[in-house]
Every structure is written in C-alpha cells, then in structure tokens.
Chain A
Amino acid sequence: MDEEYDAIVLGTGLKECILSGMLSVSGKKVLHIDRNKYYGGESASITPLEELFEKYSTPVDPAYGRGRDWNVDLIPKFLMANGQLVKLLIHTGVTRYLEFKSCEGSYVYKGGKISKVPADEREALGSDLMGLFEKRRFKNFLVFVQEYDPADPKTWKDFDSRTQTTQQLYEKFGLDANTQDFTGHAIALYRDDEYLAKPAGDAMKRIKLYSESLARYGKSPYLYPMYGLGELPQGFARLSAIYGGTYMLDKQVDEIVMDAEGKVCGIRSGGEIAKCKQVYCDPTYVPERVRKTGQVIRCICLMDHPVPNTKDALSTQIIIPQKQVGRRSDIYVSVVSYTHQVAAKGWFVAMVSTTVETATPEEEIRPGLALLGPIRQKFVTVSDYYEALDPGQSTQLFISTSYDATTHFETTCLDVLDIFKRGTGEDFDFSKVKHNLGDEE
C-alpha cells in the first residue's frame, strides 16, 4: 500500500467501480479500497439470504429455501436497454462478463389499478388508459416525438424543443392531464412535475430512449442482470484490475490526507499512507464534505407469488405517478424473481421505493405495497441522500452523489461521466479500451 498512485478510489459501489475502470483504462495507476469485506458497497446484492435477515436484525426463517440461492439488491434499478449504462457496458467490454434478461412488463398505476405502459402507436391504440379520441391524440404525439429531429427544422412542425416547454408540447397535441401523467412519469421517467415548465427537448429525448429501449428486446425497455445488480460493480472492478488497478477489501480508511494547498495527497489507514494525486469516493467516506439533500425509502419484500394483474410476470416495473396518490414524487415498484437467480425457486423479490416527503415514510409507500398481494417478509430502509459540497477541482477530491430513487441507471451514469470529466478534464475515450486483451492474436 505504501506506494504512489495517480488515483485512489474509495468504496466499490457501482459508480466508484465504473470510475475505477475508466481511470485504469485511461492509463492511470489506481488503488481501489473498500472498508467492507465484499465488493459493491450499497450496490451489492446480499447473499446468502441469512445475511439479509442479520442485516435487519430479523430472526432467520427457514421457509425460504437455500440461502445461497438468494442475491437481494439493496437499491432496486433496471437498465434501460438503449441507455447510458448499456453503452458503457458494451464500449468497455464489461458486458462480456454478464448475462441479462429482459424485464417482462412495464406498468403504470391509474385510479387504483395498473395498466401496461403504452409505448408505441400500436400499444397506444390498444391501451385501456385512454378513451378513443385521446388515443388518437396520443398516437399523433408519439409519432411527432419519434420523427422529431433537433437537427432538422423540417420535422419540427412549428415546435421548437429548445425554447418551448413540455407543457406547451402536451397542449399542442391536446393531451389530457391523465395522459400527461403517464407520459411524463412512466415513459419519460420524471420523478416529479418540474419538467413541465422546462424546454421539451429533454422530455422528447427521454420518450425516445424509452421506445428505442423497448424496440431492442421486446417486452419492456428494461434489462436486469442474472445474479442481481451486484454483478455490475464487480464487472467494472474486473475491468479495472485487468488494466492494472489494485484492489484492497476490508481496509479501513482513517483519513484523507491534504497538503498545504488544500489538495489531496494521500489516504491513511492505520499507520500506512498511500500517496496519490486524486481521490474518488462515495459520500460515506467523507461525511464532513457532503450535505444531506433528502431521503429515500426502500422496502424489500419477499413473496412466493407474482404481482397480481401482471399476467404472472417474473419481472415487472410498476410506476405510481405522484398525482395518482396525492404526492409530489412517484412511487416505484420493481419485481425480480428466481428466473434471475436472485431468489430460491418459486420466490419473488419486490422493492417499493420513493423519495421521502413526510415524517412517516412507511405510510408513503403503502399504495405500492398494496399492489403486491400477500408479502411474506418486509425489510425497510430509509437512507439519506447526499451531495458533495464542492465539485472537487480545487481539492482533487471527487465525491459521487448517493443513489437516487429512480428505477434505472441513467442518473447514475450521468454522475459518473461528469465526475470523470471533472477529474481528468476530458470525456472518456472509449477507443482506449482494447478488446483484444488475451483473447486474440
């Protein structure tokens, strides 16, 4: 450990592992440390199941089959099939270490029941979410968004997505409040309604991302890795190691050492100091350098049946738009099961999560829990959401934000790419990844 590194990365959560991989690939000498004995931090999938019960100080119940067959995520997310993380996985070659399955259903909650999210013209016409005339308007809206090319004013039809708002876009097509609701929250995947007053370009990009993702593998725009999300950080850790990154687990970090100019110059663990030019870490390693900006509640539910009204889907995502239940932020329900090797045969893991708005967060997720049917075991966590106090260029200490309540990895990747750019002064160059390591010649 008593060496000098270009960068030291603290914590092996997904963001830190992607960063570690990108830095190693870029030729930096990286030391990657975690205080835990396992890879993944908060992004780990807990196995065996007994550990999950212990983590929540709950007596272990033998009803759940073999503990080893379980890999339970602490933070629920899906990958958008055409999203940023998939691009990162493909460009870095990390996809070669993973197997994926398509999520079977994408649903949205309306008036007490759930309906399939209509994402293309055909589905829009068959949807029970809208009346006949509204379906036509929605179809026209989708066609306009698909054909809209920001670079080609001929496709704009008198609508400028740089200056006009999403609200104006909805009005242009006469979409009613209900349609706006599921479009903004279940297709564009906004967590609240602030987007309505912003330029429509972003919303249009998100709607396109949803339908392009859907087009990739069919049933839903979402993907999920076999053995759980904890495989993702491990894949990027392997990338980093292959490019020379050094890994240390079960290592306490006692101090981030700063020089006279207030710049990072190393980290101390007990009596050892590892020198470095930069530190990248998650907020838990630097509590004095982050501020709490909110809370997220997540409830893990173990069940022995699929979610009612999802056609027995072995994996689903259900979005409850804020307005449907009188809230300011959406409630997300994600379900995976034994088919992803994350539960023993016949078992399902559902996760209900949302951004906390009141002093009684458990009450807030009740509408989500009510959709699940009988729940055998619940584990509730309320976690603080942290952001760095400063962007890090002056200290060379770069801190990722906590994982938000969104059910996909788009914000995760944007944070990572932004940190990489702040840290290295440039965008990540994918051409530096050589896929022929070892397996060609």
Chain B
Amino acid sequence: MASAKIPAQKVILCGDYGVGKSSIFRRFANDTFVASNDRKSTLGLDFYNKAFCSESGTDGHTHACQCPPISKLMVQLWDTGGMERVATVTSSYYKFSEAAILVYSVDNPDSFNSLANHLLEVASFAENAKIFLCGNKIDIITSDLVSNDDVDNFCEQCGIVSGIFKTSCKTGEGVNDMFDEIARVISTSSRSRHELLQLEQSFKLTTADIDSAEQQPDNCVC
C-alpha cells in the first residue's frame, strides 16, 4: 500500500440491544442491510476502517483516489460484538475512542431513555470522546414515539452532544450523511489521542508475517 499510514480514529456504537447498532455497522462497512429475521444477533462484527477526506488540513497524503491535497481521515467504527445482549460491554471497548454514537430506536422510547446510562459509561471510560445521537429505524413509523423535544431536552441536559441524526438502515437514509459529519467533526477537533500516544511511545504488537490489521481497504469516499 503506497499511502502513508493514517491514524485511525476510533468511533464506537453504544445503545441498547436491538436498536440497530450492527445494522449501522453493516451500512458503514458494506452498505448492506440484513433483516432481523434473516440473521442471528450480532456475530462476527468487530471493527471496520474507512477513509474520509476532509478539507481541514493540507498535509498532502498521496493516495489512490486522486483527491486534491487535502487530509485523509480514517474512521474506525467499532461494534459491541453483542456483549450487551445479556451482560455489559467491557470497559476496554470505550478506551481510546474519539467519538461515540448513542443509538436508540425511534419506535422504542425505552431505548432512548437508557441513553443516559450509556452516556455515563462513555464519560467514565472515554471522557474526551465526542458524543453523537442517532435515532434509527425512521422507516418504521411516521410519527416518532421519541419527540424532538425529548431529544432537545436530552442534549440540553448533558450539554456535550456534537450532532443529532435520524437514520434508517433499511433504506440507508441518513447513514452516509451521519458519518460524513462525524468525520468532519473529528478531523477539526484536536488529534490529541494520536499525538499523545506518539509522544508516549505506545504501540501495537505486530509481526511482519502475521498482520492483517495493516491491510486496510483504500476505499476513500470523498
């Protein structure tokens, strides 16, 4: 791979079981949708890297897709692995994340009400992560069971929400826009984690012959 190694920005999906976190992940990774009766719950979803171009810098990486010399941002989206089905997600899941997407289902007010708990976990283990709110399954119903006022109240109370989105993984509506916006926000925020780590010289274990983590697709979506 010719392009310089771009630090991946970790973005995590949080929310109750069944709100569609893995569906968002599949849309992000493959732009596909699998209906719930065609699959078991989350199995085999780990994380996925995808490159975004933003105009926020001019460090001029050269890469395959002939973008103008603008900076390229690697968004690394993590799924929970289904751990929240019965237990809780590990605290490791939150560590090093740059952003967290709090997902609820618009047809399930309980999933919205429990976002406060998920937010607390994010704040505990990834205090610098940017918070985004995502109401999923907007294809299901026409009148939201979670009103805009509810959402506004939530954002006002926690005071740190960087973006609010409505999506449908079934139709794909809103998903790309959401990630474009998240990539934009992350790229303009400080790259503190990456720089901090470089300064402090931590590293991932790799070997020359067994390393798939380096072999990421170069599918820039600018």
Contact = CB atoms under 8 A, between A and B. Distances in A.
Interface string A222-236: 010011001100110
Contacts of B82: 241-242
Interface stretch (A85-93, A154-162, A204-212): A85-93
Contact of A438 (B46, B197, B210): B46
Interface stretch (A107-115, A245-253, A324-332, A394-402): A245-253
A242 B43 contact: yes
Nearest to B212: A435
Contacts of B213: 93, 95-96, 435
Given A86-B205, A101-B200, A438-B29, A238 B92 contact: yes
Interface in B100-127: 124, 127
A72 interface: no
A143 interface: no
B218 to A, nearest CB: 12
Nearest to A217: B203
A359 interface: no
A247 B205 contact: no
Instruction: Tell me whether chain A's interface is mostly helix, strand or loop, or mixed.
Output: mixed
Given A242-B81, A339-B200, A68 B124 contact: yes
Contacts of B91: 39, 47, 230, 234
A243 B44 contact: yes
Contacts of A242: 43-46, 81-82
Contacts of B90: 39, 234, 237-238
A96 B204 contact: yes
Contacts of A102: 201
A95 B92 contact: no
Contacts of B190: none
Given A234-B92, A248-B87, A93 B204 contact: no
Interface residues of A, number: 42
Given A99-B203, A242-B46, A439-B46, A235 B92 contact: yes
Contact of A98 (B48, B86, B200, B204): B204
B111 to A, nearest CB: 20
Interface in A61-102: 68, 86, 89-91, 93, 95-102
A438 B79 contact: yes
Given A438-B47, A438-B79, A100 B204 contact: yes
B34 to A, nearest CB: 13
B92 A90 contact: no
Interface string B186-212: 000000000001001111111100111
Interface in A10-33: none
Interface in A296-313: none
A54 interface: no
Contact of B85 (A47, A227, A246, A441): A246
B206 A440 contact: no
Contact of A238 (B29, B93, B124, B202): B93
Instruction: Tell me whether chain B's interface is mostly helix, strand or loop, or mixed.
Output: loop
B86 A246 contact: yes
A306 to B, nearest CB: 16
Interface residues of B, number: 42
B212 A93 contact: yes
Contacts of A247: 83, 85-87
B23 interface: no
B202 A99 contact: yes
A247 B205 CA distance: 27
Contacts of B88: 249
Contacts of A370: none
B143 interface: no
B13 to A, nearest CB: 12
Contacts of A86: 205
Contacts of B46: 96, 238, 242, 437-439
A360 interface: no
A244 B45 CA distance: 10
A100 B88 CA distance: 25
Interface in B125-149: 127
B40 to A, nearest CB: 8
Contacts of A437: 44-46
- Best-surrounded residue of A95, A217, A235 (most CB of chain B within 10 A): A95
A90 B43 CA distance: 21
Nearest to B40: A244
Contacts of B45: 242, 437-438
- Best-surrounded residue of A89, A226, A241 (most CB of chain B within 10 A): A241
A217 to B, nearest CB: 8
Nearest to B215: A440
Contacts of A93: 212-213
Contacts of A100: 202-205
A441 B49 CA distance: 11
A436 B215 CA distance: 10
Contacts of B83: 237-238, 241, 247
27 contacts: A89-B205, A93-B212, A95-B206, A96-B204, A98-B205, A99-B197, A101-B202, A101-B203, A217-B203, A230-B91, A231-B92, A231-B95, A234-B92, A234-B93, A238-B81, A241-B81, A241-B82, A242-B44, A242-B81, A242-B82, A435-B212, A435-B213, A436-B212, A437-B44, A438-B44, A440-B217, A441-B29
Interface of B: 25, 29-30, 43-49, 79, 81-83, 85-88, 90-93, 95-96, 124, 127, 197, 200-207, 210-213, 215-217
Closest 8 CB pairs of A and B: A435-B212, A247-B87, A234-B90, A241-B81, A234-B92, A249-B87, A95-B205, A99-B202
Given A238-B92, A441-B29, 7 more contacts: A47-B91, A95-B213, A101-B203, A227-B95, A238-B90, A244-B43, A247-B83
